[in-house]
Structure 1
Amino acid sequence: MNPISVSTLNTQIKSLLETTFMQICVEGEISNLTIHSSGHIYFSIKDENSTISCVMFKGNTKYLKFELENGQKVQVTASITVYVPRGNYQLLCTKIEPSGVGNLAFAFEQLKIKLQAKGYFEQSIKKTLPKYPKKIAIVTSATGAAIEDMKKVASKRWALCELILVPTLVQGNGSIEDIASSIKYADKLNCDIVIVGRGGGSIEDLWAFNSEIVADAIFQAKTPIISAVGHEIDYLISDFVADIRAATPSNAMEIALPDINEHILYLDSFVIEFQNRLKMIFSNKEQELINTRKLLEQNSIESKFSFISSQIKLVKSSFNSSFSQKIHIFQNSLDNLKSNYVLNHPEKKEKNGFVQISKDNKIVSLEDLKIGDSLELQTVNIIADCKITNLSKQKVK
């Protein structure tokens, strides 16, 4: 027997398969569905034991009357095609028709209804996450990308938290039991939070997190649990049972840990506010000191002496002004008296034949005298003592 090349073998297999299975109808459950930007659809169909890759090119997708979803049970009309460089074969689909809900999706809905009836999804029993966790247990694969992503996020957000990895088988045979066992173990580590999860994958890869055994372990845990399985679009039973659902493993760390940058900004704002308040306090105290100093200055001995001195000066000025005014008034009165004296001086009033009559040193009128009265007749220069011996009244003609 002469050996042949790999390419020759793959070419012969291609010819044999493509001529033998030119048109077939296959029934199975859709998984790993990808709708490419080119318009081509890539997926797999599977049953309990086997999986086969499928593709439907854009030219045939226009005949689809429904949207393909993972978990759908479908019938595909296809031919087998072989990709020689890799030796891979797949179904080239020309027609896809639904044949009912897939077994996995049906099982998921069944378990979901069962656990909901048992109260596993009640919001009232969900545990609250601590604001500043000191220790977090992570139930995931030790070699997966999820643990590395979570470590990166944790180091950036809050490096003060201790992370404890509980290495766990997250897919394949024995993964269900291993996940449940790891959750129970993590619950005994006296951690603040337990994160259960893994990175993205097909529904089959994530199926262990849709098991009742894992749901029981999560529900019975005393430690708050975050479920972080797959991508944002993936919803699993563990998401509904856990206290918190995270869209991704990285998002689980964002939920579990505070952001140190936010705290730094908060502290900065707190420092600024503290400084502003301190400045305001000092400013108010300074103003109080200024007011107190002014008050002390106003009530000091020097101030009082100054005030009294100013009052004395004011009184003195007022006294001088008043005294001057009085002197002026008296001077005016004296001048008036002098003027009147001068005007009324006897020398200026004296006329020939006129004398002043006085009795008992009082000036009297002639009409007031009686016979026998003693009186004085005086001029400026002469005083004559007289006695009335006769009085007669003249008749006015």
Structure 2
Amino acid sequence: MNKPISVSTLNVQIKSLLETTFIQVYVEGEISNITHHSSGHIYFSIKDESSTLSCVMFKGNTKYLKFQLENGLKVVITGNITVYAPRGNYQLLCNKIEPSGQGALAFAFEQLKNKLEAKGYFDGNYKQPLPKYPKKIVLVTSPTGAAIEDMKKVASHRWPLTKFILVPTLVQGEGAAFDIVNSIKYADKLACDIMIVGRGGGSIEDLWAFNEEIVANAIHEAKTPIISAVGHEIDYMISDFVADIRAATPSNAIEIALPDINEHRIYLDSLVNEYSNRMKSILFNKEQELLNMKRLFEQNSIETKFRFIQTEINLLKSSFKTDLSQKILSSQNELILLKNSMKNSFSAFLLKTQNQVDLLKSNFELNHPNKKDKNGFVQISKNNKIISLEELQIGDKIELQTPKYIASCTLNSLEQQ
């Protein structure tokens, strides 16, 4: 009969057997019961329809994860079996985890994109407009890459009036995301009009720093309008969605940020031509107005009127000379006729007037008061007014008047015959 072994010995033998037999496994399952320990380790299980397997990923390997582990996520794990001898438990020690069916980076991209979109980072309300004529632009990029040279070249030809400030930044590799974040925060304090964050082309791994959440947060929180210019036209980064403007390339970012000096030169030339043509038109119209006013003035000037009058006078003189004799003769005849007519009329007027005077004289002589004096006849007056006897009343004071005498009396009686 064999001698029994201790539990510890059995667990050690199992540990040795499992760990030497399952040195590297490649297993697919659905994550459940995930726990992120304060130490940085991640504990979870993977399962299928029938079984569950405990898993652990230590802190040293978690830093290589490109996406967030979540319950219900189907993953493919590369690792080895390890046994915890004191408890007799075995688990899968995870070295690498990939999302099932797609690459880790692509999944991480979509995962972070959905998360930030839900937080409103892509909302147009957060987008800031770019100034039309920026005075200062800060560049957050590598000082040695091709991108900075391309941007300098485009800027020198496009709009040389703008000042550029370079913030040297690590744009790929370990620690690049943190350096980008620090550079963005520093550049945001420089009071520039525009910030361009980006780099030239490269693989998805080279560009990955611009897909990190901390970079997205820094761009979202910046007060300076930001243009994201990462890689080539076909490359889309998380920074492109969060930034105020996305540029296809770093060179395109300069084209977006700066006005085109040649277009402005053409525009200025067109303004000069338009101004010149308009001034010519105005001057021509004013000149025509002056000419019309001059002609009108000449037509109505004193000199013109004098010339017209002189012409009329000359015509009259000529006509007068021609008809002078006839007019003088005619005038003489008219004067003779007028003289005779006036003489006859005056004689008739004198005769008529003499007759009227004679008639008045005759009437005066006939009606002279001296010839009206008859015995027994007087003129009755009252209050110096001639009055008839019928108008008197008893007691009236009256005057009886002849051409030579006036008698004052009082009427004592009045009888009707």
TM bin, normalised by shorter chain, reads 0.5 to 0.7
C-alpha distance in structure 1 between counterparts of 2:186 and 2:126, whole Å = 21
Residue 271 of structure 2 is matched in structure 1 by 270
Instruction: Please tell me the residue identity of whatever aligns with 2:278.
Output: R
1:179–1:313 Cα change, 3 Å: same
Residue 161 of structure 1 is matched in structure 2 by 162
Q: List alignment gaps of at least 5 residues for structure 2.
A: 1-25, 28-62, 65-74, 77-98, 331-417
- SS at 1:286 equivalent: helix
Matched, 1:180 2:200: no
Residue 300 of structure 1 is matched in structure 2 by 301
C-alpha distance in structure 2 between counterparts of 1:121 and 1:318, whole Å = 103
- SS at 1:222 equivalent: coil
Residue 129 of structure 2 is matched in structure 1 by 128
C-alpha distance in structure 2 between counterparts of 1:149 and 1:195, whole Å = 13
Residue 207 of structure 1 is matched in structure 2 by 208
C-alpha distance in structure 2 between counterparts of 1:317 and 1:117, whole Å = 110
CA apart distance, 1:288: 1.7
Residue 232 of structure 2 is matched in structure 1 by 231
C-alpha distance in structure 1 between counterparts of 2:245 and 2:184, whole Å = 15
CA apart distance, 1:102: 1.0
C-alpha distance in structure 2 between counterparts of 1:246 and 1:319, whole Å = 100
C-alpha distance in structure 2 between counterparts of 1:243 and 1:137, whole Å = 15
Instruction: Please tell me the residue identity of whatever aligns with 1:234.
Output: D
CA apart distance, 1:181: 0.7
Instruction: Please tell me the residue identity of whatever aligns with 1:212.
Output: E
Residue 102 of structure 1 is matched in structure 2 by 103
Residue 334 of structure 2 is matched in structure 1 by none
CA apart distance, 1:99: 6.5
Aligned residues: 236
Residue 217 of structure 2 is matched in structure 1 by 216
1:99–1:124 Cα change, 3 Å: closer
Cα deviation code 1:183-211 (max 9, x no counterpart): 11111001000000000000000000001
Instruction: Please tell me the residue identity of whatever aligns with 1:273.
Output: E
Larger radius of gyration, structure 1 or 2? Answer: 2
- SS at 1:196 equivalent: strand
C-alpha distance in structure 1 between counterparts of 2:218 and 2:310, whole Å = 96
CA apart distance, 1:298: 1.5
CA apart distance, 1:124: 2.2
C-alpha distance in structure 2 between counterparts of 1:142 and 1:218, whole Å = 20
C-alpha distance in structure 2 between counterparts of 1:137 and 1:241, whole Å = 18
- SS at 2:228 equivalent: strand
Cα deviation code 1:53-89 (max 9, x no counterpart): xxxxxxxxxxxxxxxxxxxx99xxxxxxxxxxxxxxx
C-alpha distance in structure 2 between counterparts of 1:127 and 1:318, whole Å = 95
Cα deviation code 1:283-338 (max 9, x no counterpart): 112112211211221222211111222333455667788x59x99xx9xxxxxxxx
Instruction: Please tell me the residue identity of whatever aligns with 2:166.
Output: L
Instruction: Please tell me the residue identity of whatever aligns with 1:161.
Output: T
Matched, 1:141 2:136: no
Instruction: Please tell me the residue identity of whatever aligns with 2:182.
Output: S
Alignment of 1:247-266 (within 5 A): 247-266=248-267
Residue 117 of structure 1 is matched in structure 2 by 118
Q: List alignment gaps of at least 5 residues for structure 1.
A: 1-25, 28-47, 50-72, 75-97, 331-397
- SS at 2:183 equivalent: helix
Cα deviation code 1:361-395 (max 9, x no counterpart): xxxxxxxxxxxxxxxxxxxxxxxxxxxxxxxxxxx
Identical counterparts, % of pairs: 72
Alignment of 1:27-106 (within 5 A): 100-106=101-107
C-alpha distance in structure 2 between counterparts of 1:224 and 1:311, whole Å = 87
Residue 11 of structure 2 is matched in structure 1 by none
- SS at 2:255 equivalent: helix
